[in-house]
Chain A
Amino acid sequence: MTCSPTRLAVALRELKSERPTVSAGAATGLRLARVQTLALTRRSVISEWRQLGNVIPGIVFPLLLAAVYTHQFTRVILLPGFPVVDSFLDFVLPASLVQSVSFGATEAGTELARDIENGFFDRLRVSPCTRLPLLLGRLGGAVVVAAAKGVLIIAIFLLFGAEIAGGPAAAVVLVAAAVLLVIAIGGLGQVLAIITGSQEAVNATFPLVFTSIFMSSAFFPTNLMSGWFREVAEANPVTWIIDPVRRLILDGWSWSDAGQALAVPLVISVVTVTMAVVALNRKLGSS
Chain B
Amino acid sequence: MGETTRARFDDDVVIEASGLERTFGEVVAVDGIDLAVTRGEVFGFLGPNGAGKSTTVRMLTTLLRPTGGTARIDGHDVEKSAAAVRRIIGVALQDASIDPLMTGNELIRLQAVLHGISRSESRSRGAELLARVGLAGAAGRRVATYSGGMRRRLDLALSLVHEPSILFLDEPSAGLDPTSRLALWEEVRRLNSELGTTVFLTTQYLEEADELAGRIAIIDRGRLVREGSPEDLKSMVGSPTLRVDVDPVFLESARRVLVGFGPERPAREGRLAIGLDEGATRVAEVVRALDDAGVTVSHLELDAPSLDDVFADATGRRLEGAEK
Q: Which residues of A contact B (CB under 8 A)?
A: 32, 35-36, 39-40, 42-43, 46-47, 50-51, 115, 118-120, 122-130, 284-287
Contacts and interface: CB of A to CB of B under 8 A. Distances in A.
A51 B61 CA distance: 33
B101 A123 contact: no
A46 B106 CA distance: 10
A284 B95 CA distance: 20
A119 B113 contact: no
A126 B106 contact: no
A120 B97 contact: yes
B83 interface: yes
Interface string B52-73: 0000000001111100000000
A121 to B, nearest CB: 8
B203 to A, nearest CB: 19
Contacts of A36: 113-114
A126 B98 contact: no
A141 to B, nearest CB: 11
A118 B155 CA distance: 13
A244 B99 CA distance: 40
18 contacts: A35-B116, A39-B113, A39-B114, A40-B110, A47-B102, A119-B93, A122-B63, A123-B91, A123-B97, A123-B155, A125-B62, A127-B111, A127-B115, A128-B83, A128-B114, A130-B83, A285-B65, A287-B64
Contacts of B111: 123, 127
B87 interface: yes
| CB-CB nearest 9 A-B residue pairs | A119-B97, A127-B114, A39-B113, A128-B86, A126-B91, A129-B114, A128-B87, A120-B99, A47-B101
Given A40-B114, A284-B65, 8 more contacts: A43-B99, A46-B106, A115-B99, A118-B97, A120-B97, A122-B97, A129-B114, A285-B65
Contact of B93 (A35, A122, A130): A122
Nearest to B87: A128
Contacts of A35: 113, 116
Contacts of B99: 43, 47, 115, 118, 120
A287 B113 CA distance: 27
A152 to B, nearest CB: 23
A128 B88 CA distance: 9
A29 B87 CA distance: 13
Give the interface size bracket for B toward A: 20 to 34
A128 B83 CA distance: 6
B135 interface: no
Contacts of A46: 101-102, 106
A43 B110 contact: yes
Contact of A123 (B87, B98, B109, B142): B98
A115 to B, nearest CB: 7
B158 interface: yes
Which of B89, B98, B114 gathers most chain A CB within 10 Å? Answer: B114
B116 A123 contact: no
A126 B102 contact: no
Candidate in B101, B111, B158 with the most chain A CB atoms within 10 angstroms: B101
A124 B61 CA distance: 12
A123 B86 contact: no
A120 B151 CA distance: 12
Contacts of A120: 97-99
A35 B117 CA distance: 10
Nearest to A123: B97
A27 to B, nearest CB: 13
A39 B101 contact: no
Among A39, A124, A284, residue most surrounded by chain B Cβ atoms (within 10 Å): A39
B141 to A, nearest CB: 13
Contacts of A50: 101, 142
A130 B86 CA distance: 11
Of A32, A42, A47, A127, the most chain B CB neighbours within 10 A belong to A127
Interface in B137-167: 142, 155, 158
Given A32-B116, A47-B101, A51-B101, A123 B106 contact: no
A40 B65 CA distance: 25
Nearest to B88: A128
Nearest to B61: A126
Contact of B63 (A47, A118, A126, A128): A126
Interface in B70-100: 83, 86-87, 89, 91, 93, 95, 97-100
A126 B110 contact: no
